[in-house]
Structure 1
Amino acid sequence: MSVVRWSEDGTPRSARWRSENATPPPARVVVVDDRTTAKAAYRMARSGAGLLWRGDFHNARQLLRAVDRLHGRSRSASVSKGTADDGAAALFHRHRAGRAERARLLGSLLVVLEPDHTLRLGRAPDVRAAIDHAYGTADGDTAVAGVTDGDSADSESADGASGRTCLALTELVGVLSAYQWHEQGVEIAALGARIHPAYGVFSPVRGEYVDLVAQAPFAGGEAPAVVFDLGTGTGVLAAVLARRGAGRVVATDINPRAVACARDNLHRLGLADRTQVREADLWPSGRADLIVCNPPWLPARPTSALELGIYDAGSDVLHRFLDGLADHLAPAGEGWLVLSDLAEHLCLRTRDELLARIADAGLRVAGRHETNPQHPRANDAADALHEARRREVTSLWRLVRDS
């Protein structure tokens, strides 16, 4: 267990360290409050210090925005300089590096949760339900053995940590936002119902890929008896296919949060009797008449469980899907690969490489359905990757054995 240590009012203190993207705890922690200026906070964050906030909650949010503006101004010249001569791949990697540096700086502002998951800051919201949803209940997860209700807030357990938890304010804000999405749900037109994402599970806000699966005709015109949905996430595609009449849908995901989330959504939709959700690294056992996979679209290293739905180092999931498809298809079965060509426009993968990989796996393309993205960044000229996003097309590739 990682521990954050600091001194406050001359007293040594500590807390468990929590980071969704496995960022190590800061070696040096400075206590800051409403008197701390944005310039001072920015300077300390750049030096690598963790800034433990002890002021007003809303002032902390304002400080984050001010530090973000300072960082943006400091980077604006270096980001724009020479971009015209850069290739798309170089622009993408620089964009990712810039976002990582921004996340590091903003992640330097820290807050502490009490053992019961309360946030003791002025004007702080009640975060307990959101924290419990993301990390588990206080008595089952964050609370440390040896700290009881009768212990003081500064009590230490045998391993050196109090019952408190320290995390970045940006992570807490993400937890609160995710909880709102979970409570409200995301309306899915193809289902006529809402899907409720969980923290750390990619939300199906880009409806075009869902619509492709909802509208593509089944081979032979009949609903398949057995369907595999690989990397199910929230379970949205499994739900769509079950609603379309599939006899049995087996959905898999490597992320335990996604498995629990998909099960919950399928139960909410009344589809639990026709679906199974299993924790697996892609493939379940057996064969299926239809196998659907919406792999991460960009070959780059993810930095958190949530980014596993977007980035995939070396296109590993895509390649394992293609390489294993023929062996898992029933006779006359079909695989549906749902994939954006954004990686091609960013020069991270070529169309020829994709087609060669399909052929090498003993497959051929039986058809393809396309749609244009509808998300706001596709029309945002200020986005660093706007030119590539403007040309992006999302496709459903119909793959069969090459007999």
Structure 2
Amino acid sequence: MSVQIPAAAAVPLHIHWEENGEQRSARWRSEAGMPPPKRVVIADDRTNADIAYRMACEGTALLWRGDFQNARQLLQALARRADHKGRTGKKAKPAKVPATPTEAFHLHRQAQSQRARTLAMLLIPFDEGYTIPLRRAPDVALACNEAYGRFEEPFIASMRELLGLIGAHEWRRTGVEIPALGARIHPHYGVFSPVRGEYVQMVADAPLPADTSLAFDIGVGTGVLSAVLARRGVARVIATDQDQRALSCARENLALLDLDDGQVELRVADLFPEGRAPLVVCNPPWVPARPSSPIEYAVYDPDSRMLRGFLNGLAAHLTPGGEGWLILSDLAEHLGLRPREQLLEWIAAAGLQVVGKTDVRPIHPRASDTTDPLHAARAAEVTSLWRLAAK
């Protein structure tokens, strides 16, 4: 599954603030595409968490000049307040009870978006070479180089984004164990991690078509499904993606698994490569909604663009007797965002028929978390591998 990262602004953005009686500015960086805050104040170890939270909610950013570890603690304090924990002096307002699963989803997304904007108001300065000019600041050059690439100019970014970069670096370093491969896959920053192993296992277990000479993997992501197909004996896999981060990530993972270009070929493409194949596999984003951050592009597919594009183009890219494997969760159905009837109509309208379907219930912590606002939908969720053929 690939992640579509919004393109960087053509003109570099700058953030402006006043410090020690002087007007200052610096390059602004936000992988989520957030604009630079218009109001910026200086904060340090003396800054009160309640005051900081109120200012952040009002859209005032806090540029940190104190101890780095204290900034991490302040961010944690802001998160507790955003989650209605640890608030003093008054009780949180009773939460609105949603009338439908769809309303629950939109309220949840709205709350997530507001929380993200608030927590992004704590800012960290970077000097040349990704050094942070704060006491007890860690060396983050490697994590930043992996995510941003080479960049020498000083800039300002949010503390929350930096911690995301550090976390992504650890994911990349340690990797994710994939039982179907007997190996680890190492996700890069901005590329969706295959932590939901049930869909990988489905691809490992599904019966292959008689012709295993070629397969297309649409939206290669980390390369995990291409690797599974190659290990299962598919002679050649052509894997596509339009995101360079995904292609780089897949290339590195395939090399670690000793799968060369002769077995798995990576191509830049929006969905399909040229030609036809006996097997075409796609694991598109599952929920038809607008993403609000880069990593969400692997989960949210506005207007089901990738799903509909795959279905509409599949028949023209299958050899006679070939199969298309669509790996899709029905979470959108339980949220009232896309009914099953609509999916079946799209399949039929694309000149396709269902020749088989395998279901599995996902195993992940959210499915059993009764405090999750979307618990009912997650508990009922089923992931399916749809085997499709041209009519």
- Measured against the shorter chain, the TM-score band is over 0.9
Q: Secondary structure at the match of 1:296?
A: coil
Which residue in the other structure is 2:4 paired with?
A: none
Contact preservation (8 Å) 1:232, 1:258: yes
CA gap 1:93/1:206 in 2 versus in 1, 3 angstroms: same
Partner residue in 2 for 1:321? 310
Q: Which runs of 4+ in 1 moved over 4 A?
A: 74-79
Among 136, 141, 145, the alignment partner of 1:132 is: 145
State the partner residue of 1:11. 22
Alpha-carbon offset, residue 68 of structure 1:
1.7
Q: Which residue of 181, 201, 204 corresponds with 2:194?
A: 204
Q: In the TM superposition, what whole-angstrom CA distance separates every residue of 1:315-371 from its partner, at most 9, and x where no partner exists? A: 110000000000000111100000000000000011111111101110000000111
How many Å apart are 1:78 and its aligned residue? Answer: 5.2
Q: Is the 8 A contact 1:111 1:166 kept in 2?
A: yes
String of CA shifts for 1:215-251, please: whole Å, max 9, x gaps. Answer: 111123x5x2111101111000001001111111011
Q: Is the 8 A contact 1:252 1:284 kept in 2?
A: yes
- In structure 2, how many angstroms separate the alpha carbons of the residues matched to 1:334 and 1:201? 27
- Percent of paired sites with the same residue: 55
What is aligned with 1:283? Answer: 272
What's the counterpart of residue 236 of structure 1?
224
202-211 vs 275-284, greater mean Cα deviation: 275-284
Question: Where does residue 349 of structure 1 map in the other structure?
Answer: 338
Q: CA deviation at 1:58?
A: 1.6
Amino acid at match of 1:225: S
Q: Which amino acid aligns with 2:242?
A: I
Give structure 2 stretches of 5+ with no counterpart: 1-11
2:97 counterpart residue number:
82
Is 1:255–1:305's contact at 8 Å kept on the other side of the alignment? no
Aligned partners of 2:146 and 2:189 also within 8 Å: yes
* 106 and 328 in structure 1: CA distance in 2 versus 1, 3 angstrom threshold: same
Deviations for 1:85-128, whole angstroms, at most 9, x for unmatched residues?
Answer: x1001110110010000000000000011111011222211101
State how far apart, in whole Å, the 1-side matches of 2:68 and 2:390 are. 58
Alignment partner, residue 251 of structure 1: 239
Could you tell me how far 1:80 is from its partner in structure 2? 2.7
Check if 1:27 corresponds to 2:38.
Answer: yes
Partner SS for 2:204 = helix
Distance 1:302 1:135 in 2: 20
CA contact (8 A) 1:227 1:246 kept: yes
2:250 corresponding residue in structure 1: 262
Alignment match, 2:55:
44
Q: Give 1:295 deviation, angstroms.
A: 0.3
Q: How many residues align?
A: 375
Residue 135 (structure 2) aligned to one of 110, 119, 122: 122
Distance 1:348 1:230 in 2: 24
Q: What TM-score, normalized by structure 1, do the two folds share?
A: 0.91
Which residue does the alignment assign to 2:8?
Answer: none
1:8: Cα distance to partner? 1.9
**Cα shift at 1:77:** 5.2
Q: What is aligned with 2:161?
A: 171
1:91 corresponds to which residue?
Answer: 104
Instruction: Quickly say closer, same or farther: Cα 1:52–1:292, change in 2 above 3 A.
Output: same
Q: Any stretches of 5+ residues in structure 1 without a counterpart? A: 144-162
TM-score, normalising length: structure 2: 0.93
SS at match of 1:319: helix
